[in-house]
Amino acid sequence: RVPLRLRPRFSSLSSIAGSISTLVIGEHEGGAVKAPTLSAVEAAKYLGEGNSVSVLLAGTGSSLQDAAEHAASCHPSISQVIVADSDHFVHHLAEPWARLVQLVQQREGYSHIVTVSNSFGKNVLPRAAALLDVSPITDVVSISGPNQFVRPIYAGNALSTVRYTGNSPCLLSVRSTSFPEPTVAADFRAEKAPISQVDLSAFDEDSIRKSRYVKLTSQETERPDLGNAKVVVTGGRALKSAENFKMIEKLAEKLGAAVGATRAAVDAGFVPNDLQVGQTGKIVAPELYLAFGVSGAIQHVAGMRDSKVIVAVNKDSDAPIFKVADYGLVGDLFEVIPELLEKLPEK
């Protein structure tokens, strides 16, 4: 373990261009860094040559320590792993995390702070930005230098190139689907990155009592995580009921895929809202996206248009989903899915 080094604090945009150092706000699970965090590390590469990337991990116990060891050895760009060991960070409440980011920033003076554009990042980043008195740039899909970024607007129908002209640090949330993890050999690193502990003595607990962890309700599932799955099978309102939606789940099981849903299917109560894909749901970019009974509203397409291959089944040949589909079948899903289930081999 090495102590945190004190770096000069940058205060203006001109400093950003001169010296790049990035803090990636990391997530971990089961003793390993989550894949989207590594995408954020990958994104940081594009901020500039010689960028020194630190990953901040927090929580408690052996799972945190294992994740720190993992972070120290799993990506060539990580030059330091910073660990905050405290119960405050276990449940991903935004207030303690935002305060932690502020504390680390005050000591380290990074030019950039990057998080993933998921529910955790979307929760923490604006609060951290407020504490640091800067404006965050969200949903970044491309980075061309320390202060130039591309982000979708109008539900993904246009891309806007924005230049950050604020004070340092520049806070970004990035879409993990736009920065795939690199494939690296297991033994690519001769030396692990150093792991340092955050000194939490200045962590004022009174400032973080604004939210309280109550409970976690999650579904036990063997299926891959929707955000990272290589194959996603999505059902829309046309499924008509939760009972019928089980066809989508069976198909996903056979294909080793994640299940997605449109907002109409979620609102109708067929599936929980953590399966929603789209502008107000999850953004996915799998190798294969299968959409059954999905009209292709712009708010849905905003969440899946970057999929490599899109297959749509819809009984209306004019459905907008066919405009983004690589393969389309005009047909009744109540005939097509049973046939697929019958013909596909068991997994």
Residues lying near ligand FAD in the complex (CB under 6 A) are found at: 236-238, 262-265, 276-281, 293-295, 297, 299-300, 303, 313-316, 319, 332-334
Name the residue nearer to ligand FAD (CB basis): 205 or 339.
339
Name the residue nearer to ligand FAD (CB basis): 131 or 268.
268
**Distance of closest approach, residue 20 Cβ to ligand FAD, in angstroms:** 34
Name the residue nearer to ligand FAD (CB basis): 72 or 312.
312
Query: Hey, which bits of 239-294 come out as E strands?
Result: 258-261, 288-292
| Rounded Cα distance, 180 and 307, in Å | 13
Name the residue nearer to ligand FAD (CB basis): 136 or 281.
281
Tell me if 293 is assigned to a ligand binding site.
yes
**Distance of closest approach, residue 337 Cβ to ligand FAD, in angstroms:** 9
**Distance of closest approach, residue 118 Cβ to ligand FAD, in angstroms:** 14
Neighbour-count burial of 116, counting CB atoms closer than 10 A to its CB (0-12 exposed, 13-18 middle, 19+ buried): buried
Tell me if 276 is assigned to a ligand binding site.
yes
Tell me if 296 is assigned to a ligand binding site.
yes
Tell me if 278 is assigned to a ligand binding site.
yes
**Distance of closest approach, residue 129 Cβ to ligand FAD, in angstroms:** 24
Tell me if 299 is assigned to a ligand binding site.
yes
Neighbours of 69 (CB within 10 A): 16
Tell me if 197 is assigned to a ligand binding site.
no
Beta partners for 113? 23, 171
DSSP 3-state percent helix, strand, coil across the chain (nearest 5): 35, 25, 40
Give the chain's largest Cα–Cα span: 65
Which own/partner pairs from 41-46 qualify as long-range (CB within 8 Å, at least 24 positions apart)?
41/75, 41/77, 41/78, 42/75, 42/77, 42/179, 42/180, 42/181, 42/182, 43/114, 43/140, 43/143, 43/172, 43/174, 43/178, 43/179, 44/77, 44/112, 44/114, 45/77, 46/142, 46/143, 46/144, 46/145
CB 270 within 8 A of CB 314: no
Q: How big is the chain by its Cα radius of gyration, in Å?
A: 22
**Distance of closest approach, residue 259 Cβ to ligand FAD, in angstroms:** 13
Name the residue nearer to ligand FAD (CB basis): 57 or 301.
301
Give the DSSP letter string of 52-73.
Answer: EEEEEEEE-HHHHHHHHHHHHH
**Distance of closest approach, residue 188 Cβ to ligand FAD, in angstroms:** 38
| Rounded Cα distance, 299 and 277, in Å | 9
Tell me if 277 is assigned to a ligand binding site.
yes
**Distance of closest approach, residue 180 Cβ to ligand FAD, in angstroms:** 23
**Distance of closest approach, residue 35 Cβ to ligand FAD, in angstroms:** 22
Tell me if 294 is assigned to a ligand binding site.
yes
**Residue 322 C-alpha from the chain's centroid:** 27
Name the residue nearer to ligand FAD (CB basis): 26 or 236.
236
Name the residue nearer to ligand FAD (CB basis): 35 or 268.
268
Name the residue nearer to ligand FAD (CB basis): 176 or 279.
279
DSSP conformation class of 8: P
Cα-Cα-Cα-Cα dihedral sign, residues 212, 218, 222, 228: negative
Tell me if 115 is assigned to a ligand binding site.
no
Q: Which residue is nearest to ligand FAD (CB)?
A: 278
Tell me if 295 is assigned to a ligand binding site.
yes
Binding residues: 237, 262-263, 276-280, 293-300, 314
Binding residues for FAD: 237, 262-263, 276-280, 293-300, 314
